[in-house]
Structure 1
Amino acid sequence: MDERSVLVDVKTMKRWAEFALSIRTAGHTLARVTAPQGGSAFALVDDRYPSESVSQWAREGLRSAVDHLLIWANHAVPLDQFEGQVVTHQGFRWSFTLMRSAIEGSAQSLWLSRSPTPEVCLARLIRMVRHDLREERLAHIALGRDVALIEERAARHETAAQGFIGHGPAISSLPSMVDLVRLAAQVATLDPALQEANWRICSAAAHGKDWAIREVQVLTAPVEWRPGQFHLSGHPDPEKLTRILEDSVKLLTAGVIQYLLMSGVDPVSESRKSMVKAARETPQQDGGLHVESLAAQFETNGK
């Protein structure tokens, strides 16, 4: 394994700065919009099924995506910078692991928020809750914990779900992650096959798969440790990392927009407010003049 740190070039850093701004914008948006407006699509489903909240389940998937991508953003485009600071990248599995988690969080949120009807949305929520409770119960059993409270919640959930039994089968598992990712790709107007590939590549990196070493790295001199077998070393391929990162951010952005629409919130106005806040937090070469000019334009257009 190559332990060298590799300098990130200026062109790539510019794109990374744009991604970091988008990630932080999404984070601020989700912090500002915590519940749906009355009469919105999410509010109507929440009212029909008060046992759980589809708006909060959709929001949590996006919050997870932001949490993971922020780790990358805080490394690559830190908010606290000093003169002469440079960004290097070392190792490859960690960044693709973060992207995998973000892809999955956004995809699960979009599965809820892009339901074709309120009935389907409710059926998907019921299915997601069942899956969540099942996994929590299994984890508690493995830890030797009492599962009585989990089973009580599951029983209450099943009782509440009885009135909606016609809206979907009583399934305790989610669709495959590949299916969820491909559906999310369609919403974000991305190529479903390419997004499936992105998820598989990120999963391979996260799980320590051998083929990820060759897929996402620029390889340096191999070392033959026995006849025909080599120790491969290298550094992250900046083009591949940037491409998958860009698509991960697009999925997150699509998820946030859909969350806002379903919550009865204007995505343009809300995103502008959050973007200005994120930009003001980010060190600017012009001292923030462009950001303030943009903020003034937004305010004028909003009146």
Structure 2
Amino acid sequence: MPKDQPPVPPHAARALRRLKQWQKATSEPRPVVEAGSSLSADDAEVPTLRVSSAAYQCFTHAVDHPRAVQVLLFEAKVIHSYAPYSLLRAAVQAAGEALWLLDPSSRQERIRRCLKRAYENVSKGKEFMDLSGLQPSGRPHHERVQELRDLATQHGLDPNGVRGRWSTQAQLKYVEEVVLDGKEALAQNLWQICSGFAHGREWATLAS
């Protein structure tokens, strides 16, 4: 390490080592879901969506964004006032979403969350298409929505519940209360202050 470069704090060094492992994992071919596992059974129930695919996509996003922060700070040696917070916000959000998807012990609930995520994706995609004037290259919106409603009914779920409000904050609250046993509110706090920086809110600067 160059003499004029300050040492990396121990907690940051640990995070960087873990990030390196995660980046290696995401740069290799996607892992195969273990046969006979709960996740493989989830995928068999909704093969057109697959719970494993949704969770893995969240994982890759959760790794890619802090990797970009690492490149900025430790390789390019560029310090931006606000941009890293936007990247970290995305990482926290994606990681929380992955845990929210996979944590429930009930297969029905895991499928419900996967369908809810899919509906959010379809809905936001339609909003973008409407605003941009573009035409979807695949199936029309109403067919995709109907497929999700049918899947919900097949699994004893309320189709209207699958369409319910999507809340990142609720997902992070779930992670803190259920996965972390309410030990800390780190996920929500970090996500909120990063959101404040990402949206140019003065309170974030004053609170940091």
Is TM > 0.5 for Structure 1 vs Structure 2? yes
Instruction: Write the mapping of 1:283-294 to structure 2, written as runs, cut at 5 A.
Output: none
Gaps of 5+ in 2: none
Alpha-carbon distance between aligned partners in 2 of 1:67 and 1:195, rounded to the nearest angstrom: 18
Bigger radius of gyration among the two: 1
Whether contact under 8 Å (2:150, 2:159) holds in the other structure is no
**2:132 match:** 143
1:200 and 2:189 are equivalent in the alignment:
no
Whether contact under 8 Å (1:183, 1:192) holds in the other structure is no
Alpha-carbon distance between aligned partners in 1 of 2:166 and 2:69, rounded to the nearest angstrom: 28
Change in Cα spacing, 1:188 to 1:92, as seen in structure 2 (3 Å) is: farther
Alpha-carbon distance between aligned partners in 2 of 1:189 and 1:203, rounded to the nearest angstrom: 24
Q: Taking every aligned residue pair, what percent have the same amino acid on both sides?
A: 18
**1:170 match:** 161
Alpha-carbon distance between aligned partners in 2 of 1:123 and 1:51, rounded to the nearest angstrom: 14
Q: Which one of the candidate residues 13, 19, 22 is aligned to 2:15? A: 19
Change in Cα spacing, 1:103 to 1:173, as seen in structure 2 (3 Å) is: farther
**1:94 match:** 83
Displacement of 1:21 in angstroms is 1.9
Whether contact under 8 Å (1:23, 1:66) holds in the other structure is yes
Q: Which moved more, 1:18-27 or 1:179-188?
A: 179-188
Whether contact under 8 Å (1:123, 1:167) holds in the other structure is no
Instruction: Show CA shifts across 1:144-201 (max 9, x none).
Output: 0124724233333333333113377533245422221122235256744333221111
Whether contact under 8 Å (2:112, 2:162) holds in the other structure is no
Q: Which one of the candidate residues 6, 19, 22 is aligned to 1:9? A: 6
Instruction: Write the mapping of 1:268-283 to structure 2, written as runs, cut at 5 A.
Output: none
1:117 and 2:97 are equivalent in the alignment:
no
Provide TM-score, normalisation by structure 1: 0.59
Change in Cα spacing, 1:29 to 1:44, as seen in structure 2 (3 Å) is: same
Alpha-carbon distance between aligned partners in 2 of 1:137 and 1:194, rounded to the nearest angstrom: 33
Amino acid at match of 1:131: E
Alpha-carbon distance between aligned partners in 2 of 1:170 and 1:11, rounded to the nearest angstrom: 47
Alpha-carbon distance between aligned partners in 2 of 1:32 and 1:199, rounded to the nearest angstrom: 30
The structure where strand makes up a greater share of residues is 1
Alpha-carbon distance between aligned partners in 2 of 1:15 and 1:92, rounded to the nearest angstrom: 21
Q: Which one of the candidate residues 8, 33, 43 is aligned to 1:46? A: 43
Whether contact under 8 Å (2:152, 2:158) holds in the other structure is no
| Greater relative contact order (Cα < 8 A, sep 6+) | 1
Amino acid at match of 1:76: L
Q: Which moved more, 1:153-162 or 1:56-65?
A: 153-162
**1:290 match:** none
Change in Cα spacing, 1:195 to 1:157, as seen in structure 2 (3 Å) is: closer
Gaps of 5+ in 1: 1-6, 79-86, 217-303
Whether contact under 8 Å (1:26, 1:66) holds in the other structure is yes
Alpha-carbon distance between aligned partners in 1 of 2:192 and 2:153, rounded to the nearest angstrom: 37
Amino acid at match of 1:16: A
Q: What number of residue pairs does the alignment pair up?
A: 201
Provide TM-score, normalisation by structure 2: 0.84
CA RMSD of aligned residues (A): 2.5
Whether contact under 8 Å (1:204, 1:212) holds in the other structure is yes
**2:73 match:** 76
Alpha-carbon distance between aligned partners in 1 of 2:81 and 2:94, rounded to the nearest angstrom: 21
**1:107 match:** 96
